[in-house]
């Protein structure tokens, strides 16, 4: 049986103990490394192969640059939140909803989400590549072409930064385009934005 390794980046020691206890109940799962508040986990994630990550929302918010630089980590990450946040989950694509874990959930519900993260990651990746851009993704392509940052897009669309980055990862996978300039050309060619709008943007 293949062992799925988990990295935990959770600021609360007691919560981390609880997550370890839950993971130990799942066959084929192993906790490889644990990081607490202030621990230098970013260098580890950059230099080590990672199967899956469970990360506190607060730690994720402090490490956005890491996920921008390595967007492939998003599909391996489950965010751990203290309480449900409607504005976080409402913008997530259906196949990514289970990557948000709330501490108020029952243990069995959390275990099920972790199993889904393991079982469905490869299938989600295949589905993403076979689909056209959704209306939400088209809107994000337009806003990226207009020069907005992930955080600005999140605020404008009432989404979380994690949701925006998930959308951008899916867009890159579908189009094979990772650069802002490439997305801008795509947006012009496909009438998502006009060349006049792009020309009117302030020079950077």
pLDDT in tens, 88-120: 433 333 333 347 888 888 889 899 888 888 876
Residue at 15 is within a domain = yes
Are residues 51 and 144 both part of a single domain?
Answer: no
How many structural domains comprise the chain?
Answer: 2
Are residues 181 and 92 both part of a single domain?
Answer: no
Domain boundary, last residue among 92, 109, 129: 129
Residue 123: pLDDT band with limits 50, 70, 90: low
| pTM, to two decimals | 0.56
Q: What is the pLDDT of residues 125-165, one digit of tens each?
A: 444 444 578 889 999 999 999 999 999 999 999 999 999 99
* Domain extent for 180: 135-199
Half-sphere CA count of 91, side-chain side, radius 13 A: 24
Are residues 78 and 111 both part of a single domain?
Answer: yes
């Amino acid at each position: 049986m293949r062992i799925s390794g988990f990295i935990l980046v959770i600021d609360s020691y007691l919560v981390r103990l609880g997550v370890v206890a839950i993971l130990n109940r799942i066959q084929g799962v192993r906790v490889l490394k644990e990081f607490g508040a202030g621990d230098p986990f970013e260098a580890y994630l950059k230099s080590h192969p990672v199967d899956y990550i469970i990360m506190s929302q607060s730690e994720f918010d402090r490490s956005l640059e890491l996920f921008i630089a390595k967007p492939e980590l998003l599909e391996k990450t489950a965010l751990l939140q203290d309480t449900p946040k409607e504005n976080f989950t409402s913008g997530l694509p259906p196949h990514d909803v289970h990557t948000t874990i709330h501490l108020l959930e029952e243990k069995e519900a959390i275990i099920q989400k972790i199993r889904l993260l393991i079982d469905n990651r490869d299938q989600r990746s295949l589905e993403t590549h076979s689909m056209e851009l959704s209306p939400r993704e088209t809107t994000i392509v337009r806003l990226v072409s207009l020069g907005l940052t992930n955080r600005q897009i999140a605020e404008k669309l009432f989404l979380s930064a994690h949701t925006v980055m998930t959308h951008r990862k899916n867009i890159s996978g579908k189009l094979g385009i990772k650069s802002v300039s490439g997305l801008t050309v795509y947006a012009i060619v496909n009438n998502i934005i006009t060349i006049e709008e792009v020309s009117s943007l302030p020079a950077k």
